[in-house]
Amino acid sequence: MDVKTSATVRLTDAQRIDWLRLIRSDNVGPRTFRSLINHFGSARAALDRLPDLARRGGASKPGRICTQDAAEREIAQSARMGVILLAPGEYGYPPRLALIDDAPPLLAVRGVLNVQTQPMIGIVGSRNASGAGLKFAQTIAQDLGRAGFAIASGLARGIDQAAHRVTLQSGTVAVLAGGHDRIYPPEHEDLLLDMIEQGSGAISEMPLGHTPRARDFPRRNRLISGISLGVVIVEAAHRSGSLITARFANEQGREVFAVPGSPLDPRAAGTNDLIKQGATLVTEAADVINAVSPIMGRPVELPMSEPNDPAHDSGEPHADERVRIVNLLGPSPIGIDDLIRMSQVSAASVRTVLFELELAGRLERHGGGMVSLL
């Protein structure tokens, strides 16, 4: 397996099962997954250590570890509805998504894989959109489609729906907050079927059977921006979900485009604010195309894989080292580098203690190598 060349990344069947087991286990999110793989060298090795780590981290009851059976069943059930589980770097995994800090280790992809490799622009906005907002979303989505971009959105009512609907054929990707068999809102199942039939697609990081909860939508929004070169916010009130997508886009280094509106229109309050904060004002597709053209050619590098040569220091912390590290942690995020320096414990041992705490459900990982106690 040559993990250095994106065109040829391919998990073995056994690896895919191990990866799925690891990411579907309790207290393992995308950031933890990546750290575990980097630390232990493979998902297999990490799975072997999970129970012990969680116990030492002080879990009152051991977290659930996804079984071999459950993983095989998810893969088979997914296949039956035309969904495959892809790792970063595999064909059909949106190349830019692989670059984000918390990229899903396995992404459930439905529909034509080709659309996932098109350059993508996210278009999001109010569910309760104005007629002008809907019309604008349709126009810019169509124009971007004609220019060769696929349109990513969230399948919601309003702006999302308008953007998907007019780009069924040029290419559009629905980014789901729940499993592929739990479409939200339910009345958009028909729209999704149209998308799949006409050559577009849908992605989710959630398991089949997962009904989206309120907190899954902000989490999902990072995927809309993550797969895209930039995100167009069409209408957004203050404190709306679209602004979360804009914030993720910013953090991920994606372009943020905002459609202006009258200061007297509350649906433009969020987008006008974004422009004040530096977002690019957009009134037509050319504004988007001109801004992203310079970055389209840049090669996309693969950030994650199973290292051929993992660190050999397995990091077995002493009890007093563990105490020292825990005492340095608190509810405010701290950098792992600072933690290593301040604790004077080896990097490998600090990482091990963090895994223990995490798998016991006591630690949260943030972007930029920051952690905090829960």
Which residues here bind its own copies, judged by CB under 8 A? 132, 135-136, 259-265, 268-269, 272, 275-276, 280-284, 287
- Between 284 and 316, CB nearer to its own copies: 284
Write down the least CB distance from residue 276 to its own copies, Å. 5
- Distance of alpha carbon 269 from alpha carbon 334, whole angstroms: 34
Write down the least CB distance from residue 12 to its own copies, Å. 50
- Between 1 and 281, CB nearer to its own copies: 281
- Between 103 and 258, CB nearer to its own copies: 258
Helix (H, G, I), strand (E, B) or coil at 111: strand
- Between 220 and 267, CB nearer to its own copies: 267
* Angle between helical axes of 336-343 and 319-328 (0-180°, round to 10): 130
- Between 63 and 270, CB nearer to its own copies: 270
- Between 114 and 139, CB nearer to its own copies: 139
Write down the least CB distance from residue 133 to its own copies, Å. 8
Write down the least CB distance from residue 267 to its own copies, Å. 10
Dump the DSSP string for 325-359.
HHHH--SS-EEHHHHHHHHT--HHHHHHHHHHHHH
- Between 186 and 294, CB nearer to its own copies: 294
Residue with token string 């990344």: 9
- Distance of alpha carbon 256 from alpha carbon 246, whole angstroms: 6
Write down the least CB distance from residue 131 to its own copies, Å. 9
Write down the least CB distance from residue 309 to its own copies, Å. 50
Sign of CA dihedral 226, 137, 144, 271: negative
- Distance of alpha carbon 71 from alpha carbon 67, whole angstroms: 6
- Between 266 and 367, CB nearer to its own copies: 266
Write down the least CB distance from residue 259 to its own copies, Å. 6
Write down the least CB distance from residue 283 to its own copies, Å. 4
Question: Which residues have CB under 8 Å from 228's CB, separation 6+?
Answer: 96, 120, 121, 122, 152, 249, 254
- Between 132 and 340, CB nearer to its own copies: 132
Write down the least CB distance from residue 274 to its own copies, Å. 10
**Tokens linked to 40:** 């232990």
The 3-state secondary structure of 264-294 reads CCHHHHHHHHHHHCCCEECCCHHHHHHHHHH
In the sheet where 334-335 sits, what is the strand order? 334-335, 370-373, 363-365
Residue 113 amino acid letter: L
Q: Give backbone dihedrals phi and psi of 24, rounded to 5 degrees, phi first.
A: -90, 0
Please return the burial class of 330, using the count of CB atoms within 10 Å of its CB with bins 0-12, 13-18 and 19+: exposed
